[in-house]
Amino acid sequence: PPAPLGFTDVTLNSRNTYEVSRRRSAPEHLPHGATAPAAPAPPPQEPADRARHRGGIASAGSSFAEFFARNFFTKRTKELKPAVQSAPGWKLFGKVPPRENLPKDSKIIQQEYEARTGRMCKPPPPSARRKNIEFEPLSTTALILEDRPANLPAKSVEEALRHRQEYDEMVAEAKKREIKEAHKRKKIMRERFKQEENIASAMVIWVNEILPNWEGMRGTRRVRELWWQGLPPSVRGKVWSLAVGNELNITPELYEIFLSRAKERWKSFSETSSENDIEDAGASVADREASLELIKLDISRTFPSLYIFQKGGPYHDLLHSVLGAYTCYRPDVGYVQGMSFIAAVLILNLEEADAFIAFANLLNKPCQLAFFRVDHSMMLKYFAAFEVFFEENLPKLFLHFKSYSLTPDIYLIDWIFTLYSKSLPLDLACRVWDVFCRDGEEFLFRTGLGILRLYEDILLQMDFIHIAQFLTKLPEDITSEKLFSCIAAIQMQNSNKKWAQVFASLMKDNKEGDKNHSPAPKN
């Protein structure tokens, strides 16, 4: 009869389990000349055989259950072995020498060091230890209190106390800096919250009370005080439009007409290449270079930090359209460098057509028209009026500028051409614009005197070159509170004469001088 099926009890305790099972199941792979052990013959008793068969099945079932209940990749428990010298290991090139000394604890090393030197290292007193210190400097200064590595001798008492003192000094300095910066941040946040609350309350007043009754309330003391504090951004564009006015009676339809004319000229300039064709179209090569190319260059240089007026930005084409339409609307003025900054500020606060209307009316003011048309005689009168109030308010700085022959045109032209939008931060420039729309051209020169007053101490220590460079590019950390406090301290009054009276007297003296120097009529 055939031999009954046998079940091998598979365990993972032996590393040769797989080899043993392979040898038992595959005797043909045994070494040459070896024979597989013969299976034991079953006993002749039938009941015993059945009992053994049932026992085998039961044992097989328990073995399989134990096998599947066990993880296939069980972690082998590490047996605790006595500390003996390990055999040499292997590395890529050569043998790794056996580790002679096991790592010692820092306390053991300290005890050995004390026993060898005979000195006892007392720990620092409990009062010197750190107790729930809320402040920890975010730097590597804390590393000075770390214990030394185990293979180095422990710190001595003197060294530990010195390190403790140095650490406490560094922590105190860092804590002072952190507290100072934290107070500064809190102060800025409080001022910002206060400013936001003032803006929110002012917006309600402007929307519900002032704008519906604009003509009757614009000159009141309450409105002028609110105006000085700065307009809320949500109503700034509307107030600017009302303050500038629309004396030119420009309509959105008129803007579309001049915009289409500008687009036709751009198209003709791009298609035509000969000078005759350009002259037939009503423009010259110089006109094309002065208007189109200059506009493109200035647009890319307008508020470069915002990245919204550069090519591909959301306001690039809009700014190009407003400037091109104005060039066609006022060919006598054309495009002048600096206009792009004024148009950009208006675009940020108004819609496209409204921005063009405000832009055209703003440049039609006497001061802006004199500067953008480069009327030298009018510009000199404005500079002379500015120097009158400069000498009145800042006599020491005025004499310092006179000693270097530093005239106002060196720094005022850039300020007036861009209405301070290029020289000052954008939010501060918008606040200057707020009061400029209220007070007119006088506030532009008053703002210039406020800037000189703010940096008077610094300018008194500079020479000609450094003064010109400093005023051309003002510091970026200038704040509205400091600037407007200096502007408020400027008195626009000279010998009981205000700005308009001083400027009118200069105009009158100039006309009388022209009459005296005019040639006598012939008989």
Domain boundary among 364, 386, 404: 364
CATH number of the domain bearing residue 406: 1.10.472.80
Residue 252 counted as domain residue: yes
| Contact predicate 113/154, CB 8 Å | yes
Residues 193 and 255 in one domain: no
Residues 482-509: pLDDT tens digits? Answer: 999 999 999 988 878 889 899 898 888 7
Residues 182 and 264 in one domain: no
Domain that residue 335 falls in: 248-271+288-364
Residue 520 counted as domain residue: no
Residues 442 and 503 in one domain: yes
Instruction: Return the pLDDT at 31.
Output: 46
How far is CA 260 from its chain centroid?
39
Provide the H-helix boundaries in 206-300.
Answer: 214-217, 221-229, 233-244, 252-271, 275-280, 285-288, 294-300
Residues 464 and 383 in one domain: yes
Instruction: Return the pLDDT at 300.
Output: 85
Residue 306 counted as domain residue: yes
Domain boundary among 364, 379, 403: 364
CATH number of the domain bearing residue 330: 1.10.8.270
Residue 409 counted as domain residue: yes
Residues 507 and 406 in one domain: yes
Residues 175 and 255 in one domain: no
Residues 418 and 463 in one domain: yes
Please choose, from the candidates 143, 207, 131, 198, the residue with its C-alpha nearest in 3D space to the C-alpha of residue 170. Answer: 143
Its sign, for the CA torsion 330, 332, 338, 342, is negative
Percent of the chain with pLDDT over 70: 65
Residue 106: which pLDDT band, with cuts at 50, 70 and 90? low
Residues 345 and 252 in one domain: yes
Instruction: Return the pLDDT at 21.
Output: 52
- pTM of this prediction exceeds 0.85: no
Residue 97 counted as domain residue: no
Q: How many CB atoms lie within 10 A of CB 472?
A: 13
Residues 216 and 338 in one domain: no
Residue 45 counted as domain residue: no
Residues 430 and 386 in one domain: yes
Domain boundary among 364, 389, 405: 364
Between CA 273 and CA 268 the distance in angstroms is 9
Residues 220-236: pLDDT tens digits? Answer: 999 999 999 999 999 99
Instruction: Return the pLDDT at 127.
Output: 46
Q: Considering its fold, how many domains does the chain have in total?
A: 3
Residue 297 counted as domain residue: yes
Residues 159-204: pLDDT tens digits? Answer: 888 888 888 898 899 999 999 999 989 988 988 888 888 888 989 9
Residues 343 and 434 in one domain: no
Residues 449 and 329 in one domain: no
How far is CA 248 from its chain centroid?
41
Calculate the alpha carbon distances from 295 to 317, 331, 374 in Å: 11, 14, 18
Average confidence score pLDDT of the chain? 77
